[in-house]
Structure 1
Amino acid sequence: MTLEILTPEKKLYSGEVYGVQLPGINGLFEVLEKHAPLVSALAKGKLKVLKSRNEASSYSIESGFVEVLDNKATVLVEGAVALD
């Protein structure tokens, strides 16, 4: 699955991943390969990029949105800081 994390200022991440854990407005959820199409609002919290089953990196994000379509997840957030 391809993941892009974008802020108004720059592209924070772009690449192939195993999955991503996101802070939805109703709680944490995870998107893995071949996920059904989805658009969801995101709350302030921790976003975890699952680069593989054993490797991950994290970001603290402000509110935003995620769109999942055709095995690509695009995360649009107002601001983010890498935690690793």
Structure 2
Amino acid sequence: MTLEILTPEKKIYSGTVYGVQLPGIDGLFEVLNKHAPLVSALSKGNLKILKDKTSFETYTIQSGFVEVLDNKVTVLVEGAVLV
């Protein structure tokens, strides 16, 4: 699946990933390949990009939103910093 992380200033990440873990307002959740369509609010916390089954990158994000549609995950956040 494809992941894009966007802030008002720039694109932080774009690429093909295995999955992504997100800090939802009601708790942590994970999106994997072929996930059902979804729109959710995000809280401040850590976003983990699962590049494959063994490697990952982590970003600290500010609040925002995520949209999952047609095997593409778009994350819109106020700010993101690579940990």
TM-score normalised to structure 1 length: 0.98
Cα distance between partner residues in 2 of 1:8 and 1:34: 27
What is the number of residues matched between the two proteins? 83
Identical columns (%): 77
* 1:59 corresponds to: 59
2:52 and 2:11 map into 1 onto residues whose CA distance is 21
Unaligned runs of 5+ in 1: none
Letter of the 1:69 partner, please give it: L
Q: Alignment partner of 2:35: what SS?
A: coil
Match of 1:21 in 2: 21
Aligned to 1:5: 5
CA–CA separation in structure 1 for the residues paired with 2:50 and 2:12: 15
Cα separation, 1, equivalents of 2:40 and 2:63: 11
1-structure distance, mates of 2:49, 2:36: 18
Letter in 2 for 1:62: Q
Amino acid at match of 1:77: V
- Taking only aligned residues, the RMSD between alpha carbons, in angstroms, comes to 0.2
Q: Which residue of 2 aligns with 1:41?
A: 41
User: Partner of 1:57: helix, strand, or coil?
Assistant: strand
- Amino acid in structure 2 at the alignment position of 1:68: V
Give runs of ≥4 in structure 1 deviating > 4 Å.
none
| Partners of 1:30 and 1:82 in 2: CA distance | 19
